[in-house]
Amino acid sequence: MIVGAGPAGATAALVLARAGARVRLVDRSSFPRDKLCGDTINPGTLAELDRLGVSADVRRRGLRVDGMTVTGGGGVVINACYPRGLCGRALLRRDLDAMLVRHAVDAGVQFEPSVAVRSAIVDSAGRRTAVVGLEAGESRGPIRIDARITIAADGRRSTIGFGLGVARHPPRPRRWAIGAYYEGVAASASGPAFGEMHIRSERYVGVAPVPGGLTNVCLVRPSSGGDDGLRDPAALLASTVAREAALADRFANARMVAPPAVLGPLAIDTAVPELDGLLFAGDAAGFIDPMTGDGLRFAIRGGVLAAEAALQALAHGWHGVHRGLASARRREFAGKQRFNRVLRSLVASPLAVAAASAGARLAPPILRAVVARAGDCDLA
């Protein structure tokens, strides 16, 4: 059983089905469904999709992204191409997720949308406490779904993680994301093949053209818990864009095509339990806003690692499986997570933003190296 059909869950399902496992994939939503996201697939993530053999539609339907335009305080603007001719893609998450689910179904996965999971079923009667299935809600009452292995890939609001008491919102950082699509946005001077990151003290704004003539705008900022603009996210997003010299003129005739989505607090800590029968993947395994756009690589690669751990458990039992998965996740993600923490700390400090802006003006190659690292180009 895999709970959650986002990139982590769908990828895990695909890998398991190809290996011969019988897989049931459920999600609380019906597909396609919208998802707040920056909608960019960086070069490292695209390479991971290539290795899985599922990138053809992404490359065909997504807009090419050759690099990033990064702006800082004091008018600093750096255009940085990804190295070695590498590129990413910009594609709506609703389309990417639907594509990955379709590949999983083609591999033999049984996909059931609109299934609301209520809790994991924990059996403590044997020698070891184990998860033996799920309880899902139905109009006629809950139903039991038995499974040898359950993978919780149900996102940063994981019903399974919070239900077991192993997931929580940490007191810091407490950031919120507000995202919306606009039409009628004028192209940037660097052209449509560049994503944008506008870094300011205590906030950053990502901008990316997406298929259909739309532009994705996503603001990430802290919340004090009071009325600091989140009660009217459309006004907050509009005022933020209007105050940005790099964006105001380009958005003068633009129109928000639908109410913005709001997500937060973003950070989730998950103390992954070593329960036989249960694995975590994707945001359910822990999440802090990945400001460098690598959230999709964390999800997709994390889905592969969870599937490999599940196959080991099916073949050899649970001894060492959780520790092996934790070790694999550290090898894959720890370095990039440290990199992201440094950047988030920089954004939180006005002095650091000012210093970084001055450094970028004096030594653009440093920022170009940062953009290459942010795009996971070393993994492509």
In order of their start, the domains of the chain are: 2-39+92-171+266-344 (3.50.50.60), 175-264+349-379 (3.30.70.2450)
Q: What is the pLDDT of residue 364?
A: 66
Q: What is the pLDDT of residue 159?
A: 95
253 — pLDDT class (breaks 50, 70, 90): very high
Parallel, antiparallel or unpaired: strands 2-3 and 150-152: parallel
Q: Closest Cα partner for 36 from 210, 218, 193?
A: 218
Average pLDDT score over residue span 26-55:
94
Q: Among 26-40, 279-293, 326-340, where is mean pLDDT lowest?
A: 279-293
Amino acid at 104: A
DSSP class of residue 268?
Answer: B
**Alpha-helical regions (H) of the chain:** 7-18, 43-52, 56-61, 93-106, 159-163, 233-243, 295-316, 321-347, 350-362, 364-374
Please state, for a pLDDT cut of 70, what percent of the chain lies above it.
91
265 — pLDDT class (breaks 50, 70, 90): confident
Neighbours of 20 (CB within 10 A): 10
Residue 327 has pLDDT above 90, yes or no: yes
First and final C-alpha spacing in the chain: 31
Does residue 12 sit in helix, strand or coil?
helix
Q: Among 118-127, 165-174, 337-346, 358-367, where is mean pLDDT lowest?
A: 358-367
Residue 144 has pLDDT above 60, yes or no: yes
Residue 246 has pLDDT above 80, yes or no: yes
- Between 260 and 188, where is the model more confident? 260
Q: What is the pLDDT of residue 23?
A: 98
Q: Among 16-20, 214-218, 279-283, 375-379, where is mean pLDDT lowest?
A: 375-379
345 — pLDDT class (breaks 50, 70, 90): low
Neighbours of 175 (CB within 10 A): 23
pLDDT digits (tens, 9 = 90+) for 50-63: 999 999 999 999 99
**Alpha-helical regions (H) of 87-170:** 93-106, 159-163
- Between 177 and 341, where is the model more confident? 177
Q: What is the pLDDT of residue 362?
A: 58
Residue 340 has pLDDT above 90, yes or no: no
Residue 20 has pLDDT above 90, yes or no: yes
Average pLDDT score over residue span 311-339:
93
pLDDT digits (tens, 9 = 90+) for 183-241: 999 988 777 789 998 888 778 899 999 999 999 999 998 875 555 667 899 999 999 99
Q: What is the pLDDT of residue 353?
A: 59
Give the mean pLDDT of the chain: 89
Q: What is the pLDDT of residue 179?
A: 95
Does residue 337 sit in helix, strand or coil?
helix
**Which parts of 255-327 are beta strand (E)?**
255-256, 261-263, 269-270, 278-280
DSSP class of residue 276?
Answer: B
34 — pLDDT class (breaks 50, 70, 90): very high
Q: What is the pLDDT of residue 171?
A: 80
Question: What CA–CA distances, in Å, run from 263 to 76, 175, 179, 223, 328?
Answer: 29, 9, 9, 11, 29
Q: What is the pLDDT of residue 70?
A: 82
Residue 102 has pLDDT above 80, yes or no: yes
Residue 371 has pLDDT above 70, yes or no: yes
Q: Closest Cα partner for 222 from 207, 239, 204?
A: 204
Q: What is the pLDDT of residue 136?
A: 94
380 — pLDDT class (breaks 50, 70, 90): confident
Q: What is the pLDDT of residue 298?
A: 92
The residue written with tokens 């440093």 in the block is: 366
Q: Closest Cα partner for 207 from 255, 241, 245?
A: 241
Rama region for 167: left / alpha / beta (φ>0; ψ in -120 to 50; rest) = beta
Q: Among 21-25, 54-58, 140-144, 242-246, where is mean pLDDT lowest?
A: 140-144
**For 56, how many CA atoms within 13 A lie in the half-sphere containing its CB?**
2
Q: What is the pLDDT of residue 226?
A: 54
267 — pLDDT class (breaks 50, 70, 90): confident
Residue 152 has pLDDT above 80, yes or no: yes
